């Protein structure tokens, strides 16, 4: 009954460091996505994938990379962390890109000093 | 101008009252309309899902969509302290483009 699992839950980075946020789902969903949530801004789409080997940019992709080598995993890489990337990151999956029934992970809270 | 507008609140109501939440949007291509509930320090969870205009009821929750006015609503009847959370509206078009509202914080006081 795992659903969408994100690790780590908390992370503190220094400016310029890189790291990877992990996301795994066990529901065999084709569609996976990463959002960031900031106060007053709602959820903003960073990158998404409609299947293994296929990724595309969302609304705020700069400074982030993704890959999708398997259906289950969709890691998000911060290349050179900046204070503006301090946020709560959510991974979500869905059986269909269109219908909107997103299943979210519990979030990863990132602070960049 | 944001594509989806939602009052951030907080909205404080006494237990047992009706909670009324709404969002307005500007993109007429949106066809799927959702409400998500998010407890503090948790991920959003899908609460209600509707396609096109009309009403949908699920227990104490009623979702309404008025595409002609580009306006969606969520009503919570007989509110409980456990309904205290942030409620996010969301919508998507037939291509899968999603947009979320900023969320309304609801506090139900015993």
In Å, how far are B34, B37, B56, B63, B67 from B51, measured between CA atoms?
9, 18, 10, 11, 10
B43 touches chain A (CB under 8 A): yes
Q: Which residue of A has its CA nearest to B89?
A: A42
Q: pLDDT, tens digit, for every residue of A67-80?
A: 999 999 999 999 99
pLDDT 10s digits, A15-49: 999 999 999 999 999 999 999 999 878 899 999 99
Task: List the single residue in A41, A100, A105 with the smallest CB-CB distance to B43.
Answer: A105
Non-local CB neighbours of A112 within 8 Å, separated by 6+ positions: A12, A13, A14, A15, A81, A82, A83, A84, A85, A86
In chain B, which residues have their Cβ closer than 8 Å to the Cβ of A101? 34, 46, 49
Instruction: Specify the DSSP class assigned to residue A83.
Output: G
Answer yes or no: is pLDDT of A1 > 70.
no
pLDDT of residue B96: 76
A111 has which bridge partners?
A12
β-strand pairing of B11-14 with B104-109: parallel
Contact indicator for A34, A66 with CB cutoff of 8 Å: yes
Residues B7-47 pLDDT 10s: 888 999 999 999 999 999 999 999 999 999 999 999 999 99
Kindly state the average pLDDT of the residues B80-100: 91
User: Which residue from A minimizes the CA distance to B105?
Assistant: A40
Asked if A41's CB is within 8 angstroms of B49's CB, the reply is no
Within a 10 A sphere around the Cβ of B41, how many other Cβ atoms?
Answer: 10
């Amino acid at each position: 009954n795992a659903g969408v699992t994100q690790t780590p839950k908390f992370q503190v980075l220094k400016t310029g460091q890189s790291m990877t946020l992990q996301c795994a789902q066990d529901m065999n969903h084709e569609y996976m996505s990463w959002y960031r949530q900031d106060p007053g801004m709602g959820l903003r789409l960073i990158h998404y994938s409609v299947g293994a080997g296929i990724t595309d940019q969302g609304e705020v992709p700069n400074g982030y990379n993704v890959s999708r080598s398997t259906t289950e995993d969709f890691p998000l890489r911060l290349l050179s962390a900046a204070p503006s990337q301090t946020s709560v990151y959510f991974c979500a999956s869905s059986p269909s890109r269109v219908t909107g029934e997103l299943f979210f992970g519990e979030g990863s809270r990132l602070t960049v000093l | 101008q944001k594509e989806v507008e939602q009052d951030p609140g907080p909205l404080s109501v006494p237990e047992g009252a009706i909670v009324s939440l709404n969002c307005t949007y500007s993109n007429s291509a949106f066809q799927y309309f959702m409400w998500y509930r998010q407890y503090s320090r948790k991920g959003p969870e899908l609460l209600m899902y509707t396609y096109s205009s009309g009403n949908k009821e699920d227990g104490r929750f009623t979702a309404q969509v008025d595409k002609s006015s580009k306006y969606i609503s969520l009503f919570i009847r007989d509110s409980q302290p456990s309904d205290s959370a942030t409620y996010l509206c969301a919508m998507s078009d037939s291509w899968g483009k999603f947009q979320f509202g900023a969320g309304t914080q609801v506090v139900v006081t015993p």
